[in-house]
A = this chain, B = another copy of it.
């Protein structure tokens, strides 16, 4: 009877598998010597991954994050690792739309004025008809794009290399002057760091909106602060560089800047998708089949 360590107690567990429950918030269970498959509790600090070296029978680890750099050093040789690729896509896409629509439809203003009860109305921008660059055209950007198309915006996909219907990142200088909105969905790599700097921001038309839901390092934050403080462009940011972002940084209080705190991936939509993945992986594990989303 294979024993598996799971973060949730309401999962469908296949025959031949016994589940042990560990949510990462309380102390781990005692008898862990025969745990073969370990699904890391989500968003529970470093304790869950630090348990990995203490599981002598371990064959496979499932993380529910896309990233796994912090797990590799703890993973014994011969133990496979599967990641949570795609589980946050829709949550991030949804938050991206929340940011874009809040910026275009002046939500911060309405919310600020709400307690006063004043009935002042103003015309706003729209998302419809906007030309939106999607820089980093992976599964998250495609989920964002489905929303944008529903809203009759025009999308312009940009990836590291040009391919059919997708612009290469080297075309960015010629694309920026016609962009109403630029959405960055880039990982943190040497090639993406500071990819939006002084020159790129200067190339944007007046009133353009820069949205970042990838990694904060993609934007030169000093250049962005300079440009938004002139009132020339706007920004809606879920990620910053560094994080936590210094509380006294002037970007927090600039007009035309919306900041949320790396919360795009953290919504209810994650859980049903994560649980579906874990149940599918448990079935594969019980059948002796290779796991999906293997990264090692």
Name A's B-contacting residues (CB within 8 A).
43, 90-91, 93-95, 97-98, 101-102, 104-108, 110-112, 114-129, 146-147, 149-152, 243-249, 252-253, 258-263, 266-270, 272
Q: With A119-B243, A129-B272 in contact, do A111 and B110 touch (Cβ < 8 Å)?
A: no
Pick from A98, A106, A247 the residue with the most CB of B within 10 Å: A98
Number of copies: 2
Is A90 touching B147 in the complex (CB atoms < 8 A)? no
| Cβ-closest chain B residue relative to A246 | B117
Q: With A97-B151, A152-B90, A268-B124 in contact, do A252 and B119 touch (Cβ < 8 Å)?
A: no
Is A114 touching B252 in the complex (CB atoms < 8 A)? yes
Chain B hits for A129, CB < 8 A: 268-269, 272
Is B98 touching A94 in the complex (CB atoms < 8 A)? no
Is B125 touching A267 in the complex (CB atoms < 8 A)? yes
Chain B hits for A128, CB < 8 A: 90-91, 94, 267-269
Would you give the shortest CB distance from A99 to chain B, in whole angstroms?
8
Partner of A117, one of B112, B116, B120, B252: B252
Chain B hits for A263, CB < 8 A: 105-106, 110, 121-124
